[in-house]
């Protein structure tokens, strides 16, 4: 029966059933694929519902007030604290990570040392954040004799280092060898080639890695509990205890006061949107790299 | 064979990738202010040979060179590779302008990347001079501060030539510089090569026999890592001494 009109299938009924099956399975899979996105939207919905009411200009500009006081105070100290603690963590963690990433990609690519560093970075990434906090307590808080923003930054830096090291390595490896050769053929020493050609070419990717790492650490609470500790007042001194958004959320949510709970929701909303913003910016950057190729 | 004014002279040059010997006992003199074409079938060591001449070969892990390579009277294997590469420029198979730099900065890359500071007028003069030599000036003089990667493939390749010329090398090595280009861009680069030999010695790897015939004064024919034949192009092409050269030229293998 092969010589029939090729557009007609020999068994039309079966063909329809096949098409039907295809459609059913496609629908099921699409629905299942949407499932992971649902929690995010539920979270955002919950945050907006509970937290939106506490958002106001005062919430961003004022210091915390005792429970029951009208107006309820704000989280200015925590916002500033998060910026300072995360900023310091970036200052501590990023240079080290970029240099390590450069070593892995440009110098020791296949060496034993590189393999060791890679394994260590992966293991460090898996260390629970509460343990990182305890270690930072032992290394910084104890010798200094008191809690400080700096010790919190050290803990957060430890958390971001493995992420930035690995992304830097991967991004730099993607820089085509012909660019390295172009520079070397001009008589440029290797270290200058790396710093002035390879690193700038991969800079967008490296920045993406840093943003992702920052988004990851900005919401970390456990490493700050016994390092930065928290502070009811606004301070800019990194050697003093300092507040941070996750700490405020933790303390307020644990408190017995209803207006503090509302504040915790508000602070959660701010924190989540900060992290979301960082993620979106890093995605845009990542798309920019993809577009350049 | 003897050439009148050799700029490069190799003696018993061997190049290795690990245990694999890619260049076998090559002794040759390359004449100054001439275009020397390096030809041969794929995998015969052409590219490896010219990468020895600016010591890029040894950058690969496990790669090494034995023998002697004289640039004028200095053995470049005894010199600092960085000095060698400033005297011996290179243009690659695929155009590779630096994507983070403008056209202007790309031409000056040989200075900028080394941290050499130039006065504004001097920099302008070097850029114009190099771009004119590379026959690119008229096309890009109004867009000097745009990214080099916006140019067409042929323009990018001429930009790379300008970049190599800007540091005034004595020799320009070209590794199949037109193989990624369309016929028109290829013709432009060929004309450029012929013009450039007044200022710089050119050693060009090419797969393209008519191209070698059009632009080169001398031809070196490699086969399985050995230099089989070397002589004036007209002679090698019309009257090859080695049967393998003849077979290659008549298309029996490639």
Let me know if residue A22 belongs to a domain: no
Chain A, chain B: beta-carbon pairs less than 8 Å apart: 71
- A188 at the B interface (CB within 8 A)? yes
Nearest CB to A188: which of B83, B84, B114?
B114
Mean pLDDT within B53-64: 91
Residue B4 touches chain A, beta carbons under 8 Å: no
Superfamily of domain B6-96+172-249: P-loop containing nucleotide triphosphate hydrolases (3.40.50.300)
**pLDDT (tens digit, 9 = 90+) per residue, A264-280?**
999 999 999 999 999 99
Å from B234 to nearest chain A CA? Answer: 31
Share of chain B above pLDDT 90, in %: 77
Chain B CB within 8 Å of residue A178 CB: yes
Q: Write the pLDDT tens digit of every residue in A99-143.
A: 999 999 998 888 899 999 999 999 999 999 999 999 999 999 999
In a domain, A249, yes or no: yes
Residue B86's closest chain A neighbor by CA?
Answer: A187
Q: Tell me, what CATH number does A128's domain have?
A: 1.10.3720.10
A65 belongs to a structural domain: no
Structural domain containing residue A260 = 77-292
* ipTM of model: 0.91
Whether A186 sits inside 8 A of B163 (CB atoms) is yes
pLDDT band at A7 (very low <50, low <70, confident <90, very high): low
Say if B92 is an interface residue toward chain A (CB within 8 Å): yes
- Please report the DSSP string for A145-187 in residue order: TS--HHHHHHHHHHHHHHHHHHHHHHHHHHS-HHHHHHHHHTT
Number of domains in chain A: 1
Of the listed ranges A10-24, A128-142, B38-52, B73-87, the least confidently predicted one is: A10-24
Q: Please indicate if any CB of chain B lies within 8 Å of the CB of A293.
A: no
**Residue A37 touches partner B, C-beta closer than 8 Å:** no
CB B25 within 8 A of CB B187: no
Indicate whether A13 pLDDT > 80: no
Task: State how far the Cα of A112 lies from the Cα of A146, in Å rounded to an integer.
Answer: 40
pLDDT of residue B247: 87
pLDDT at A293: 46
Residue-wise pLDDT tens digits, B168-213: 999 999 999 998 888 988 999 999 999 998 889 999 999 888 899 9
* C-beta separation of B217 from B37 below 8 A: no
| Token output for A219 | 């919401």
Among B100, B102, B164, B173, most A C-beta atoms within 10 A, so best to mutate, is B100
B-chain residue closest to A182, CA distance? B96
Reduced 3-state DSSP string for A32-86: HHHCCHHHHHHHHHHHHHHHHHHCCHHHHHCCECCCCCCCCECCHHHHHHHHHHH
> What's the gap in Å between the CA of A87 and the closest CA on chain B?
27
Residue of higher predicted confidence among B190 and A58: B190
Q: Which residues of A touch B167 (CB under 8 A)?
A: 186-187
Q: Please check whether residue A1 touches B, CB under 8 A.
A: no
Instruction: Give the pLDDT of residue A258.
Output: 87
For residue range B111-124, list pLDDT tens digits in order.
999 999 999 999 99
Inter-chain CB proximity B89 and A186 less than 8 Å: yes
User: What are the tens digits of pLDDT across the range B71-85?
Assistant: 998 999 999 999 999
């Amino acid at each position: 029966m092969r010589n029939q009109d090729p557009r007609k299938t020999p068994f039309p009924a079966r063909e329809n059933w096949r098409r039907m099956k295809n459609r059913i399975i496609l629908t099921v899979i699409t629905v299942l694929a949407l499932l992971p996105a649902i929690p995010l939207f539920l979270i955002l919905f919950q945050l907006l519902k509970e937290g939106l009411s506490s958002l106001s200009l005062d919430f961003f500009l004022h210091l915390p007030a005792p429970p029951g006081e009208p107006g309820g105070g704000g989280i200015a100290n925590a916002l500033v604290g998060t910026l300072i603690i995360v900023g310091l963590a970036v200052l501590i963690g990023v240079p080290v990570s970029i240099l390590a990433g450069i070593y892995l990609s440009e110098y020791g690519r296949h060496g034993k040392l590189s393999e060791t560093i890679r394994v260590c970075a992966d293991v460090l990434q898996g260390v629970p954040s509460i343990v990182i906090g305890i270690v930072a307590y032992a290394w910084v808080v104890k010798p200094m004799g008191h809690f400080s923003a700096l010790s919190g930054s050290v803990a957060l830096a430890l958390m971001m280092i493995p992420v930035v090291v690995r992304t830097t390595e991967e991004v730099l490896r993607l820089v085509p060898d012909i660019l390295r050769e172009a520079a070397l053929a001009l008589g440029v020493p290797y270290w200058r080639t790396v710093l002035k050609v390879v690193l700038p070419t991969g800079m967008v990717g490296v920045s993406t890695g840093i943003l992702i790492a920052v988004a990851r650490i900005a919401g970390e609470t456990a490493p700050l509990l016994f390092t930065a500790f928290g502070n009811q007042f606004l301070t800019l001194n990194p050697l003093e205890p300092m507040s941070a958004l996750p700490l405020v959320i933790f303390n307020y949510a644990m408190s017995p006061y209803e207006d503090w709970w509302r504040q915790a929701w508000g602070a959660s909303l701010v924190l989540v949107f900060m992290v979301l913003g960082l993620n979106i910016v890093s995605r845009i950057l990542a798309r920019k790299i993809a577009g350049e190729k | 064979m003897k050439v009148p004014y050799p700029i490069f002279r190799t003696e018993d040059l061997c190049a290795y990738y690990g245990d694999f010997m890619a260049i076998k006992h090559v002794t040759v003199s390359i004449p100054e202010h001439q275009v020397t074409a390096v030809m041969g079938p794929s995998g015969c060591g052409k590219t490896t040979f010219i990468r020895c001449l600016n010591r890029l070969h040894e950058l690969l892990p496990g790669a090494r060179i034995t023998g002697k390579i004289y640039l004028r009277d200095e053995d470049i294997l005894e010199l600092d590779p960085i000095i060698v590469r400033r005297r011996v420029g290179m243009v690659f198979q695929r155009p590779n302008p630096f994507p983070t730099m403008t056209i202007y900065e790309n031409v000056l890359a040989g200075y900028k990347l080394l941290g050499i500071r130039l006065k504004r007028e001097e920099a302008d003069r070097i850029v114009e001079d190099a771009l004119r030599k590379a026959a690119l000036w008229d096309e890009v003089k109004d867009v000097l501060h745009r990214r080099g990667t916006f140019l067409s493939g042929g323009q990018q390749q001429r930009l790379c030539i300008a970049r190599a010329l800007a540091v005034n090398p004595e020799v320009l090595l070209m590794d199949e510089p037109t193989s990624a280009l369309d016929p028109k861009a290829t013709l432009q680069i060929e004309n450029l090569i012929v013009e450039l030999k007044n200022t710089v010695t050119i050693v060009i790897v090419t797969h393209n026999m008519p191209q070698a015939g059009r632009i080169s004064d001398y031809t070196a024919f490699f086969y399985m890592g050995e230099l089989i034949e070397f002589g004036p192009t007209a002679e090698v092409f019309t009257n090859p001494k080695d049967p393998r050269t003849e077979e290659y030229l008549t298309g029996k293998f490639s």
